[in-house]
Structure 1
């Protein structure tokens, strides 16, 4: 199995960052950006920029019938996943590997139900500091991807993706416990994304002692409690490991939820505090910090009008 063609759905921060990286290493013909006709026309008219450089993307209408992609990457917000799945239908073939770089722990279930779990690899991304304003993306750290099978088998899909990432110099890891890794990323997102949005700050604001950083840690501890109740062995010692990654990021950068609140966009609070509150209720575990964050972010969203 060899991955020669890559399709990406979604040109948010990660879609642009990964799209540009693949184009730079594989060439423009090997990478396709899938979107509807009107969105493509807007991309072409306004342009897409990455660290000040225009992106030479090849756009493909979602309705166009064509040879399936070897690798299909979902890089949309969770709120756009349903329409993205519809747009992806013409990209799926017998050998297509599907990867989701969405936040949370829910997208793989939705995508697997739509296209089959046999095509899917579980994935989280971390360590990037990409910030998108309008049609312009800036970043210093591309971070890394963790991917694997739900059962941690080193399958041919896993090996094929590793060979591609080696070829294009994409930082990655194949963890021993993929689902554990996913809950770990949910933990850090629940703390970092939501706290920066609520306290209206950037990475720098939670890299120093103070209430924002204390809230990050307290929210992460609640994730550990519900994860343990779900049978995932997260430990408080892992908080320091994730914070070390966060502390290495560009202090002026911002996670996606803070970017959303600045630009008056709907957030993914349901993927973070929403998930933790739901699991807390399921297991009888209080989640006061995530209750606070959820209510504050909903208030911020309501203020947009």
Structure 2
């Protein structure tokens, strides 16, 4: 299978690295010093599950050099999907499948607007991973896992084939009964911790041990849960309890990627997390005052980070 990893950051680097250890043809889209290091020395992955170095078929920042992929895995930020879809479409065909694995609740919907809907899958990942230095991916905590499926939740031959490739690469992957529920379970968790981390600028250990902030997280999660149900997403009753159990298991020094982006003055996923819940809450008639407070407090900083006068990176998150 010819697989294109669109964005070789923490998530894409880990997946692409593992897949590149197989006989499948793996292409990585990366840029700048990270790309040069991969081209010269291979992609080094330091993981809680074991360290390795992988050499992909191709690492490039030029889409015109790629072979037509059978599968495109989007490992960029949610807000970058629209542009990435436009960029990649001309290099694919009617058989190419598109799998989004980034954070966010509406990534599939974004891709449906830009790509042939019958070629778009749904997915998510659970992992802590980031670029440690050019050419080096660090996964210091939580063994990565991946969930994906068809939009209608059928166990199609093509989704089974992708699962087989992931398992061949030693990736912990599953096809859940309902991929939409799985996505919203992850979305509730990440929305609960990310922007509050950006506001407080401290790691998860301090956040969860501070009663006032922990209660703020709980109210954030309750609003996300209410919006999900109003949209017809049947989240289980224990979803919030499971999210906070996951928060309790995080290493105390852990920070979310959106929190790190906010702290570093980079464009973040604020709009796709709390901003999305605020807008969807208004659409379905669910009040979201805590999410709106968090969103509005961070929005000026987000706007500055996205200003054309503010230096920032390109459209590929690597």
TM-score (norm 1): 0.86
In the alignment, what sits opposite 1:102? 102
Q: Please name the residue that 1:116 is paired with.
A: 116
1:138-177 equivalences in 2 (<5 Å): 138-140=138-140, 141-177=142-178
- Offset at 1:252? 2.2
Q: Distance in 2 between matches of 1:201 and 1:216?
A: 14
Give aligned pairs, total. Answer: 296
Preserved contact between residue 191 and residue 216 of structure 1 (Cα < 8 Å): yes
Distance (Å, rounded) in 2 between the aligned partners of 1:274 and 1:113: 20
Distance in 2, matches of 1:93 and 1:142, equals: 34
Q: How far is 1:209 from its partner? A: 5.2
Q: Which runs of 5+ in 2 are unaligned?
A: 311-318
Q: Which residue of 2 aligns with 1:178?
A: 179
Please give the secondary structure, in 1, of the residue aligned with 2:187.
helix
Structure 1 spans left out of the alignment, 5+ residues? none
3-state DSSP class of the match of 1:26? coil
Query: Contact conserved, 2:63 with 2:88, CA < 8 A, in 1?
Result: no
Deviation digits for residues 93-140 of structure 1 (CA, Å, limit 9, x no counterpart):
3332211012212221222232212112111212x1213356353213
Q: Secondary structure at the match of 1:6?
A: strand
Partner of 1:44: 36
Counterpart-to-counterpart distance in 2, 1:246 and 1:92: 39
Secondary structure of 2:242's partner? helix
What is the aligned partner in structure 1 of residue 298 from structure 2? 297
Q: Answer whether contact 2:207 2:214 (CA < 8 A) is retained.
A: yes
Instruction: Provide, for residues 160-216 of structure 1, a one-character-per-residue CA deviation record: whole Å limited to 9, x for no partner.
Output: 111112211111222112212222222112101112111112232344353332222
The range that moved more, 57-66 or 149-158, is: 57-66
Partner of 2:29: 34
Pick aligned residue for 1:18 from 4, 15, 39: 15
Query: In 1, are the aligned partners of 2:72 and 2:99 still within 8 Å (CA)?
Result: yes
Q: Is the 8 A contact 1:201 1:258 kept in 2?
A: no
Instruction: Check 1:293–1:49 CA distance in 2 against 1; reply closer, same or farther (3 A cut).
Output: farther
TM-score by length of 2: 0.82
Deviation per CA, 1:37-60: give whole Å up to 9, x if none: xx3676216876533977644214
The root-mean-square deviation of aligned C-alpha atoms, in Å, is 2.6
Displacement, 1:223? 0.7
Task: Single out whichever of 43-52 and 106-115 deviates more from structure 2.
Answer: 43-52
Greater RCO between the two (CA within 8 Å, min separation 6)? 2
Return closer, same or farther for 1:56/1:247 CA change in 2, 3 Å cut-off: farther
| CA distance, structure 2, for counterparts of residue 20 and residue 115 of structure 1 | 26
Cα 1:168–1:289 shift into 2, 3 Å: same
CA contact (8 A) 1:62 1:90 kept: no
| Cα distance in 1, alignment partners of residues 147 and 37 from structure 2 | 35
Kindly indicate whether residue 85 of structure 2 is the aligned counterpart of residue 77 of structure 1.
Answer: no
Q: Give the Cα separation in 2 of the matches to 1:55 and 1:206.
A: 36
Deviation at 1:257, TM superposition (A): 0.8
